[in-house]
Structure 1
Amino acid sequence: MSELLAGTKLINQDSEELDAGEHLKGKVVGLYFSASWCPPCRQFTPKLTRFFDEIRKKHPEFEVVFVSRDREDGDLREYFLEHMGAWTAIPFGTPRIQELLEQYEVKTIPSMRIVKPNGDVVVQDARTEIQDKGNDPEALWEEWLAFYD
């Protein structure tokens, strides 16, 4: 993702702007497509946060990028700041959001893809994998990495 998103701005939980190309360099990236108004998203987000926190204990190279389907900046920021893990988000209104939705053929939310630096998909349905196998985060991480290299 670092290559694909180079030049794109991200925000972190402290509302600092980061350059995606630099921030994501050397990281295994999960694109999380979600929105505050989506009940299934609100059910999955805490599971993703717990999974993320567990993985990051041993693997600081894991990063999630929130790609919001919210209709207003305030909704995106509230959902991101109050309900999500210590990851990053693409700011509201960034054209890259629509481009990613189209590129990864996201038809429903929540949805999550694990992607390589060039944008190639490693795991098409990471959301289901986290829901089904996330109780053993390390084993799932190792499974993903087997496809990553």
Structure 2
Amino acid sequence: MDMLEGKKVVTANCQSFHVNRVLKTAKIIAYYFTASWVNHPDLLEKLKAVYEEGKRRHSGMEVIYVSADTEEKLFTKHFKEHGPWYSIPFGNTLAEVLRWRYNITCMPQIVVVRKDGLIVTRRGTRELEELDIDVLVTWTDYIQ
């Protein structure tokens, strides 16, 4: 969480929260790297299902939407349509820093990390596609 420490995230209805509050009970963070021009509805539906199941099971997983959009209108529309999770605010350089840190060269990509920053997987997209809802067990097995 070191990169997020002291930062803010937003919800789809534009509410802003300190990330420390949002991630207080989180054990793993799934960074969902995408943009408005990325069309991958099957992956999105699977991620939503895993997120909802994680909430139901109190798994300690939180999703952070990291957009590569360069127009705020496109970012806002896409984020509102694509998830019940939190996002790095539009225009915040943290989105670029996260893309660089996790070497994101194509989208969509999911990188899962423990709250202490240890990488659980850089292949979250592939794992989600292959394992579907069972990926939740795979990802949360890394929680100590």
Report the CA distance shift for 1:25/1:52 in structure 2 as closer, same or farther (over 3 A): same
Is 2:33–2:108's contact at 8 Å kept on the other side of the alignment?
yes
Shift of 1:60: 5.6
Compare the two structures and name the one with the higher helix fraction: 1
What's the counterpart of residue 97 of structure 1? 95
Consecutive unaligned residues of structure 1, counting only runs of 5 or more, are none
Residues of 2 paired with 1:148 and 1:125: CA distance? 17
CA distance in 2, matches of 1:13, 1:39: 19
Once the two structures are superposed, what CA deviation does each residue of 1:75-111 show, in whole Å capped at 9, x if it has no partner? 1111111222x21000111011111011111111000
Q: How does 1:50-65 map to 2 (within 5 A)?
A: 50-59=49-58, 61-65=60-64
Matches of 1:43 and 1:68, distance apart in 2: 18
| One-letter code aligned to 1:32 | Y
For 1:1-41, what per-residue CA distance to the aligned partner results, in whole angstroms no more than 9, with x for missing partners?
A: 3x33012110013311011122112312100000111123x
Aligned to 1:76: 75
Aligned equivalent of 1:143: 138
| Percent identity over paired residues | 26
Residue 32 of structure 1: aligned partner: 32
Letter in 1 for 2:75: L
Q: TM-score, normalised by structure 2?
A: 0.90
Unaligned runs of 5+ in 2: none
Q: Which sits farther off after the overlay, 110-119 or 50-59?
A: 50-59
| Amino acid corresponding to residue 141 of structure 2 in structure 1 | A
- State the secondary structure of the residue aligned to 2:141: helix
What does residue 18 of structure 1 align with? Answer: 17
- Give the corresponding residue for 1:118: 116
Give the paired residue count. Answer: 143
Q: Distance in 1 between matches of 2:10 and 2:53?
A: 22
Cα RMSD between the aligned structures?
Answer: 1.6
**What TM-score results when the alignment is normalised by the length of structure 1?**
0.87
SS of equivalent residue, structure 2 residue 95: helix
Report the Cα offset of residue 54 of structure 1.
2.1
Q: 1:88 matched to which residue of 2? A: 86
Corresponding residue SS for 1:109: coil
- Aligned mates of 2:125, 2:46 — CA distance in 1: 9
Please say if residues 50 and 136 of structure 2, whose CA atoms lie closer than 8 Å, have aligned partners that are also in contact. Answer: no
